[in-house]
A = this chain, B = another copy of it.
Amino acid sequence: MTERRFSIKAPGGVMEEMTWVDVREAAAAGLPAVVAVGSTEQHGPHLPLNTDSILPAAIAARAGERTPLVVAPPIRFGARSRALSGGGESFPGTLSVRAGTLIATLTEVLEGLGRAGFTKICVQNWHFENTGLIWEACDLASEAHPGVRFLLLEDPMPSFTQEDLEQLFPSGFVGWDVEHASVMETSLMLAIYPDLVRRDQIADDAAERHPSWDLVPAPPEFVPASGVLSRAGDASAEIGEKFLEAISGRLLEALATEFDCAVA
């Protein structure tokens, strides 16, 4: 649906809304396909469960305004949620799959994109728990499609300067690991899908304890009651627009560098 908000350069588009003839044309034109690997996961009382899938798709669509590309169907069920990075599996509505299921799904989807004729496939991750599970899917799909180059962005964030961080995080940057349903994601949603944000429910929260290691099973003090892991209250559409520009900019840089895509 991001197509409605962004004007992807022809013959690119949002693949789920394209016909097979469109896809054939886009692949024949050498366009890259961008596959988001997200999740269906609680994002606090103010963001929808599909936040992790529609945000990376929208970021790819934004990049598509400057270079033609195909936004492939996102992988919407991600690896099991962990308390310290996503609240954990106990939140109603968090729907996750086992590692093996995620790897199999992604592998088969990547193989399908290879069969469709795409030779430039970019996989961008937007769910911390997926990290480490994506590379093998690319490796396996690569065995079946040796002519395809897979570009993998496990961490979708660009590197920000200290000055950037101060602008993006008005109350101070406390680490990407707690940026779940917090400033960054809430701001992006306010910029792109404001009607999906319950503004009156935005609040700050944090796990009572957040060590640099993890415990299984997660003790109660690792789980913030609201599902928000940091300060969502600082979020704004303006900050969201800055993130959108920066993150889509890094995606464009990667596409230009590795796939020789011309960026307008």
Contact = CB atoms under 8 A, between A and B. Distances in A.
Interface of A: 1, 15-24, 27, 40, 42-50, 53, 73, 76-77, 79-80, 82, 89-101, 103-105, 108-109, 112-113, 115-117, 129-133, 135-136, 138-139, 142, 146, 149-155, 159, 196, 198, 201, 211-217, 227, 254, 257-258
A225 to B, nearest CB: 11
Contacts of A22: 93
Contact of A215 (B40, B151, B201): B151
Given A20-B45, A89-B115, A136 B80 contact: yes
A19 B42 contact: yes
B44 A19 contact: yes
A155 B104 contact: no
Nearest to A109: B95
The A interface is mostly helix, strand or loop, or mixed, namely mixed
Given A17-B48, A49-B20, A213-B153, A100 B97 contact: no
Q: How many copies does the complex hold?
A: 6
A109 B39 CA distance: 12
Nearest to A101: B104
Given A15-B93, A92-B116, A104-B100, A50 B73 contact: yes
A86 to B, nearest CB: 11
Nearest to A40: B73
A19 B46 contact: yes
B132 A93 contact: no
A116 B93 contact: yes
Given A45-B20, A133-B133, A76 B79 contact: no
Contacts of A42: 19-20
Contacts of A214: 135, 151-152, 154
Contacts of A89: 112, 115
Contacts of A94: 20, 112, 116
A91 B20 contact: yes
Contacts of A159: 212
Given A215-B152, A216-B150, A43 B17 contact: no
A212 B80 CA distance: 25
Q: Which of A49, A76, A95 has the most CB of B within 10 A?
A: A95
